[in-house]
Structure 1
Amino acid sequence: MSSFSFQNVRAIVVDFPWNSPILAFGVLAICLLAATNLITRISYKVISSSRDRVKTPPTVPYTIPFIGHAVGFGLDPASFFMRLNIWLRHQQTFCLKVMGTDIYFVNGRKNLSQIWKYRGASITSPGVPAFFIDRVFGMAKYAVKAYELDDSGTNALPDLRSNVAPHNRLDHLTHVGFAKLLSGDGLAGLYGRWAEDFATRLQNLNIGEDWVEDADIMEYWAHPLVSALNKALAGPLLEVIDQDFTRDFLKFLPYVPPLMKGFPRWWIPEGYRLRTRLTKTVQQWQRIARACFKESDIDGDGDSDPWWGCKAVRERQAFLGRVDNWDHDAVASSDFGLIWGANQNVHWAAVWTVVEVFKDESLLARVREELQDANFGSNFDIDKLLSLPLLNSIYAEVMRLRVEVQHVLYSKHEDIRINEWRFPKQRIVIVPAGPAHLDEDFWNSRDGKYPVDTFWADRFLVYPKDPFSGPSKKNLTSVDVGDDRGRPKYKESGIASSFIPYGYVDNCPLVEEIRLLNYMY
């Protein structure tokens, strides 16, 4: 039997086509993959263990040249990063190779504290919005160029190294416009219209006395929430033109990540179809608004009108219309992005807040008591609502635990230096909030009674004469705090490197909108 087997093996070896080009290609491919894996592993080890005072974050080892980590990162990022975090252990800065592009990641309180203090360069740039609005919202390449050329920054005074004309300062102009919409009278008007319309939609849900099980509470509430906010922001025409606009918009949202990663049309045809349909509706809305709007249509508050929706959107048409080489289609793509941005994370945080409050009867009673004590009366006070400590703490805990965000940094002119790490200019740097928000070494858990991966409504509250209250383990206080009735105070100061739901708070005009709509829901 052994002799027979040996003869068979010998015959296979002798007769095998060793000169076959297919075999040669296969062997070469295996050698290339093995060499790539070995070289990247050695490089990672050398850089991560280096004691150099300044170094570029190490690239995580990969096997396939050029493609790198694109498959895992693109198809199943949650599982990919779960496995990656186990492999990385304590490495807090690293680089992924995705289709030939270097994407850097940074974690850790030590590093994040330096990011917030960094003043060496403008670390936000339209390079990122250009990438996003091109891939996700399908803006024409000629219009995207205006974003790519704008290196002036968001500040009122442009970067000294920039030669961009004032009317082409897209980063600054859109940021200021968004800030006007979501602060002061703009926010009050947006809230008033949203609250009125949302209340009407709630009444039309026909909720009866009997318990009815629904498969997805997010899906159940998303339509009235999104529809009401879109109407408050852009007026009623979107749903007049297409009654399925909100439905299609919600269907489109899950396609944003694969579109951002550059998935082709043949891979996600439904995502591209929905984007085209939504964009056409936005274009038609704006054609009608341009033809029909008159100054006399503006409401007595000086803000809302039935064509454009609000003053901020009207003003966008003016300054975006002056950008070089932009046409009405380019403006529509930008405003599609505005609609998406206004809805991003707002409603999911609101629904999670309701879920957490209503599943705990004692917490629900406390919230109702706080609202009753506020004594709003007939004149609703937004500032008073936003100052309620328990509601603030619940909201912050929802943002910490339930809303995962990735903050993107980008420097146009020079490298970003964070401690010993150097992030090359014109490269994307991502700061994921998740690791910071679940840092067991930082967050107060009352000696494990309220683990960081569970909801605790009081995590951000500091109680009088309670040295074990407050969000941080290391900053527990015994100072007498609270008001004259001994009630707790909401505390968010001193935790900027571990609580980053908005990234750079000064640069995020969405903060007040998210809080307000969250509380009112």
Structure 2
Amino acid sequence: MPERTIKVYKADNSGLGSKPLQGSNVEPDSRPFHVTHKDLTYGLTGPGLGPNVRRYIGGYAKHVQLYGDGRLCKTSPHSSGWIEFPDLFHFTQHTVGCAIISAHFGSDLLRIHSGFMDDLWAVDAGFPWFARCVPRFLRPGPYRARDRLISNLMDWYAYARDRFDGSAIDEDGDGDPAWGSGLSRRRQKTLREIREHDDRAIASLDLGHSWGLTKTLGTNRIHNKPNDSQPDKNILDLLDPKVLQSNSLLCSIYAETLRLHGTSHLIFRASADAHLGRWLLPRGSIGLISPGVLHQDAKFWNTCDGQHPISEFWSDRFLVYPNDPNSGPVSPVYRDISYSSPKKRQDNVDNDNNQPYFTMDGTEGAWYPYGGGEGICLGRFLAKNSILATLAYLVLEFDIEPQVESMVVNSWRFGLSVNQPRYTTPFKIRRRPSDKE
């Protein structure tokens, strides 16, 4: 980002809300944090959330079919043959990334700049170097990829302005062929009203936004247990967010995956004096929270008497079995109330067959992959809906077998996003035949 634009951010002490914080002296056209927060709230938690999720779900299957020069598209569901690919992480990251970028910016960005996603992954791979302030001359690759991405975005802005037609906005009032989404259109307007925000500055912001959109969605873990749905239904009906969020096991897998692999350090500035036990964090000071530490607290999380250590994935960790008072995410020692006792929880249980149900109760302040407070990740609902849809689609449509016994986490990236594997993971994949075939 240009230094002249950075100065505007450094001087903005007005906070995120519509009303500036007490003592702030910045002008309305110098409040980039408020404008960004307002736009993202609209696009990721407000009216733009549903259309964004629907575009993602509709596009994800297409990008899976196109992966690896369309090899999956060329296979028939009747075929029992496996297709081998060199890296499961790249498969997940690339198909998810293409779908979410297209849902937000439209399909033309990736069509015009076919190397956009490869450069985004190069920047992602270089993120540990950026975070450690390693200069360009020592590690030029990620910097060059970043420069190309910014240039691509600026070029796309000019293309989208020439092509935009207000009458072509989708019926949902959000998507359009040029800008892709209402959030993308809105940011083009509102950010330009902030001092020192031209195409170059906005492209820097959109690069960061693109990286953020793809990171949490890359945490999907392949798991076969949720495949108890009706395969005769249309796949898009099964991927409806309301249907997916009613699947307790699927939601537990989602929560457990982020507990185990959500390690992003959360940096914040105290908007007021914060008393932390014996310590004081003065207003304006910078603080850091490490969810990776909270998520690995062996005393807090339920391990079922050590049968399921916190260092291992346990799909049922966030499930409550009505007849098992020791089930649920929090260790029985730390609970104020038994999960199985309060009526408000029993109302969600099918008492005829005592089915387990998903809960996050009691994990407040301990399950922290998206941060908290006014700075909580505004994309968390988009992330959850998209992750559930991705996992459900893969489980319903394909058999996937990693060709390694275990995956080693890359500790070099700890705290810089969700965990990633240290080594490539060869895998094989094949279509599942439907019951009608």
Q: In the TM superposition, what is the alpha-carbon distance from 1:375 to its structure 2 partner?
A: 11
TM-score norm. by structure 2 comes to: 0.79
**1:54-110 deviation line (CA, Å, top 9, x unaligned):** xxxxxxxxxxxxxxxxxxxxxxxxxxxxxxxxxxxxxxxxxxxxxxxxxxxxxxxxx
CA contact (8 A) 1:439 1:452 kept: yes
Q: Report the count of equivalent residues.
A: 370
CA distance in 2 between counterparts of 1:423 and 1:371 reads 53
* 2:275 partner SS: strand
- Structure 2 equivalent of residue 489 of structure 1: 357
For 1:405, the aligned partner's letter is S
State the structure with more CA Rg.
1
- Structure 2 equivalent of residue 333 of structure 1: 204
For 1:140, the aligned partner's letter is P
CA distance in 2 between counterparts of 1:448 and 1:382 reads 34
For 2:370, the aligned partner's letter is Y
Distance 1:496 1:374, change over 3 A: farther
Match of 1:227 among 98, 118, 122: 98
Within-5 A mapping of 1:351-390: 352=221, 354=222, 357-358=223-224, 364=225, 367-369=226-228, 378=237, 381-390=240-249
Asked if residue 140 in structure 1 is aligned to residue 13 in structure 2, the reply is no
CA distance in 1 between counterparts of 2:211 and 2:252 reads 26
- Structure 1 equivalent of residue 288 of structure 2: 430
CA distance in 1 between counterparts of 2:368 and 2:286 reads 18
CA distance in 1 between counterparts of 2:26 and 2:40 reads 21
Within-5 A mapping of 1:90-489: 139-204=1-66, 205-207=70-72, 208=75, 209-346=80-217, 348-350=218-220, 352=221, 354=222, 357-358=223-224, 364=225, 367-369=226-228, 378=237, 381-411=240-270, 415-473=273-331, 474-475=334-335, 476-479=338-341, 481=346, 482-485=349-352, 486-489=354-357
Q: In the TM superposition, what is the alpha-carbon distance from 1:451 to its structure 2 partner?
A: 0.8
Asked if residue 516 in structure 1 is aligned to residue 419 in structure 2, the reply is no
CA contact (8 A) 2:238 2:244 kept: no
For 2:258, the aligned partner's letter is M
CA contact (8 A) 1:408 1:429 kept: yes
For 1:162, the aligned partner's letter is S
Percent sequence identity over matched residues? Answer: 32
- Structure 2 equivalent of residue 134 of structure 1: none
CA distance in 1 between counterparts of 2:56 and 2:132 reads 33
Distance 1:441 1:388, change over 3 A: same
TM-align CA RMSD? 2.4
CA distance in 1 between counterparts of 2:181 and 2:290 reads 33
CA contact (8 A) 1:151 1:159 kept: yes
CA distance in 1 between counterparts of 2:373 and 2:246 reads 17
CA distance in 2 between counterparts of 1:494 and 1:450 reads 19
Q: In the TM superposition, what is the alpha-carbon distance from 1:291 to its structure 2 partner?
A: 2.7
CA distance in 1 between counterparts of 2:65 and 2:240 reads 24
CA contact (8 A) 2:174 2:182 kept: yes
**1:184-226 deviation line (CA, Å, top 9, x unaligned):** 4412211222222221222334235433444421012322221
CA contact (8 A) 1:152 1:164 kept: yes
CA distance in 1 between counterparts of 2:189 and 2:182 reads 11
For 1:349, the aligned partner's letter is T
* 2:48 partner SS: helix
CA distance in 2 between counterparts of 1:514 and 1:242 reads 25
* 2:287 partner SS: strand
CA distance in 2 between counterparts of 1:161 and 1:214 reads 57
Larger RCO, structures 1/2 (Cα 8 Å, 6+ apart): 2
For 1:385, the aligned partner's letter is L
Q: Which sits farther off after the overlay, 179-188 or 302-311?
A: 179-188
Q: Structure 2: state its 5+ residue gaps.
A: 391-437
TM-score norm. by structure 1 comes to: 0.67
CA distance in 2 between counterparts of 1:182 and 1:429 reads 26
CA contact (8 A) 1:386 1:515 kept: no
CA contact (8 A) 2:302 2:328 kept: yes
Q: Structure 1: state its 5+ residue gaps.
A: 1-138, 359-363
CA contact (8 A) 1:460 1:471 kept: yes
Distance 1:415 1:368, change over 3 A: same
CA distance in 1 between counterparts of 2:245 and 2:373 reads 16
CA distance in 2 between counterparts of 1:320 and 1:443 reads 43
CA contact (8 A) 2:57 2:239 kept: no
CA contact (8 A) 2:119 2:149 kept: yes
CA distance in 2 between counterparts of 1:253 and 1:237 reads 22
**1:335-368 deviation line (CA, Å, top 9, x unaligned):** 222211211221x222x2x2xx13xxxxx2xx12
- Structure 2 equivalent of residue 107 of structure 1: none
Q: In the TM superposition, what is the alpha-carbon distance from 1:500 to its structure 2 partner?
A: 0.8
- Structure 1 equivalent of residue 425 of structure 2: none
CA distance in 2 between counterparts of 1:400 and 1:172 reads 30
More helix by share: 1
CA distance in 2 between counterparts of 1:456 and 1:242 reads 41
CA distance in 2 between counterparts of 1:427 and 1:493 reads 31
Distance 1:370 1:497, change over 3 A: farther
CA distance in 2 between counterparts of 1:214 and 1:505 reads 41
For 2:35, the aligned partner's letter is L
CA contact (8 A) 1:466 1:477 kept: no
